[in-house]
Amino acid sequence: MILSLVCCLVLAAGGCTGGDTRDYDEYARQGVTASEIRLGSSLPLTGHASYLGEQTLRGALSYIKYVNESGGVHGRKIVLDARDDGYDPPRCLANTQQLMIHGNVFALFGYVGTPTTMRILPLVEEARIPLLGMFTGANGLRIPFNRYVINVRASYYQETGAAVRHLVQDLGLKRIAVFYQYDAYGFDGLTGAELVLRELGLAPVARGSYIRGTNDVTDGLKRILEERPEAVVMVGTYEPCAEFIRRADAAGLKAVYYNLSFVGGEELARRLPHDLKSPVVLSLVVPPPTAPEAPRIMQVASDYVTHLKRFFPDETPNAVGLEGYINALVLVEGLRRAGPDITRETFIDAIDSLSSFSLGGTNVSFSPRNHQGMESVFFSVLRGGRFELVNDFRTVLAGGLKDGDPANRNEGAANKNESSANKNGKPVNALLPPVVPPGTTSPDIVIPDAVPSDAARSKEAGQGGAQ
């Protein structure tokens, strides 16, 4: 099906019809008219991840509407055709096919989620259509290098890596468990955590999972409670993660609950009681936009708050929306630099020229061999029903893990020093396949031996070229 679609779209480049260069030039300008530039997006506007889709979209539209009101880009208005996929990969694929065949879009923009975005990657690669500004830190969108895939945010490997190092090195915690969504998103976070734990001479004391689209955390919770960890790395969405934390807290587990940015911090906080016994930590790739420090870190946070209030007055500023806003900033700057005679290729070249694009305190940097614009990871802790930016990670334990019992050491663990091996006796160097939830079959999963270094990424990019 994918090959047939590509043949329909890329007449010259795919060689399906033997077209000439003029055919491809026309295809490369698809979606661009004298008055508009059409973009397509598929994201969850209903279902378990709807908050993430809605806020990403409204953040992006806050800037796009401002640009259109100011005359557009080279006299063209930006039109965004956004379709609901309910965080379901097959629906995302179908939406994308429709956008490419019937939607006449120039580029794909603002997709949300790892399993959904990864599902369309073959289309992007074969059709040579730009895909920019995804709300996912998936490693598969970064390696191998792909000329047509533009990531703005830091990766999940960077988020989990930074969090695990803080938990171990700053807080002195060694008994760390991982709770994750059983799909490409969860596996990415699980792998990132395991790689850094191994680097530090440790391994997860327990791993538990749940099935995407459900709140059934029973099996994963049971596996983790049995080992009484000091911290739980959580790679999921807001509803199941909140369910896990509530039930673990009720069961008496005292641990640091660390959540990846994709969880949706505002919705997670809304679902948690204010009297939790343990701290809840959230990593972010942008600062909370209403934090006092935010304008100093990146001035565009204030611009986002202003434009969101103007175009979506009933919405509350949040980090997810700020990501969408920054994605739109990068998009528009690329469209501007590509000039009035824009094609998909000149647009990618323009993005590659953003070597130090300022957000007012923070820069976004791309190159022909680097398609991840930012590297920053921030942390916040839940206090009084909202997440507050953390300047010193050691402060997350203030008021949590009380009475000198940071490890829950004598509650179910055979030995407090057994954190370097899991309960099955596997060595630290062994990265185990993900735990399969009941009634689920295990997919094929490739787990790398090490976190790729910057040098390795550069080498991979140089060998891979445009995929």
Token pair 């305190």: residue: 361
Other Cβ atoms closer than 10 A to 385: 10
pLDDT(383) > 90: yes
Q: pLDDT value at position 20?
A: 55
- C-alpha 245/C-alpha 253 separation (Å) is 9
Q: pLDDT value at position 261?
A: 96
User: Of 132, 125, 141, 184, nearest to 5 (Cα)?
Assistant: 125
pLDDT tens, residue by residue, 397-429: 875 564 434 444 434 333 333 333 333 333 333
Q: pLDDT value at position 426?
A: 35
- The bridge status of strand 280-284 relative to strand 378-383 is antiparallel
Q: pLDDT value at position 366?
A: 98
Q: What residue type is assigned to position 170 of the chain?
A: D
321: three-class secondary structure by DSSP: helix
CA 341 to chain centre: 32
Domains of the chain and CATH, by start: 2-154+296-364 (3.40.50.2300), 156-284+385-450 (3.40.50.2300)
Q: pLDDT value at position 443?
A: 39
Non-local (6+) Cβ contacts of 306 within 8 A are none
Q: pLDDT value at position 236?
A: 97
- C-alpha 397/C-alpha 211 separation (Å) is 30
State the pLDDT confidence band at 8, using cuts at 50, 70 and 90: low
Q: Kindly state the percentage of the chain with pLDDT values over 90.
A: 78
Mean pLDDT of 318-343: 98
| Token output for 146 | 């792909």
pLDDT(190) > 60: yes
Q: pLDDT value at position 434?
A: 52
pLDDT(461) > 60: no
Q: Which of 11-20, 121-130, 172-181, 445-454 has the lowest mean pLDDT?
A: 445-454
pLDDT(444) > 80: no
Q: Which of 257-266, 385-394, 436-445 has the lowest mean pLDDT?
A: 436-445
pLDDT(458) > 50: no
State the pLDDT confidence band at 27, using cuts at 50, 70 and 90: confident
- Contact between residue 458 and residue 369 where contact means Cβ atoms under 8 Å apart: yes
- C-alpha 155/C-alpha 153 separation (Å) is 7
| Token output for 148 | 């047509």
User: Of 90, 108, 185, 96, nearest to 148 (Cα)?
Assistant: 108
- Contact between residue 16 and residue 7 where contact means Cβ atoms under 8 Å apart: yes
Non-local (6+) Cβ contacts of 302 within 8 A are 289, 294, 295
State the pLDDT confidence band at 4, using cuts at 50, 70 and 90: low
State the pLDDT confidence band at 25, using cuts at 50, 70 and 90: confident
Mean pLDDT of 196-209: 97
278: three-class secondary structure by DSSP: coil
Q: pLDDT value at position 102?
A: 94
pTM of the model: 0.84
- Contact between residue 246 and residue 382 where contact means Cβ atoms under 8 Å apart: no
44-48 own/partner pairs: CB under 8 Å, 24+ apart: 44/84, 44/85, 44/86, 44/87, 44/112, 44/113, 44/116, 45/82, 45/84, 45/86, 46/84, 46/86, 47/86, 47/87, 47/88, 47/213, 48/87, 48/212, 48/213, 48/215, 48/237, 48/239, 48/240
Helix (H) or strand (E) holding 386: strand 386-389
- C-alpha 43/C-alpha 253 separation (Å) is 35
State the pLDDT confidence band at 466, using cuts at 50, 70 and 90: very low
Top-confidence residue, 444 or 66? 66
Mean pLDDT, rounded, of the chain: 86
State the pLDDT confidence band at 9, using cuts at 50, 70 and 90: low
Q: Which of 70-74, 194-198, 461-465 has the lowest mean pLDDT?
A: 461-465
Non-local (6+) Cβ contacts of 325 within 8 A are 59, 60, 62, 63, 300, 303, 304, 307, 308
- C-alpha 100/C-alpha 14 separation (Å) is 15
State the pLDDT confidence band at 448, using cuts at 50, 70 and 90: very low
pLDDT(177) > 60: yes
- Contact between residue 182 and residue 190 where contact means Cβ atoms under 8 Å apart: no
Q: Which of 11-25, 210-224, 430-444 has the lowest mean pLDDT?
A: 430-444
443: three-class secondary structure by DSSP: coil
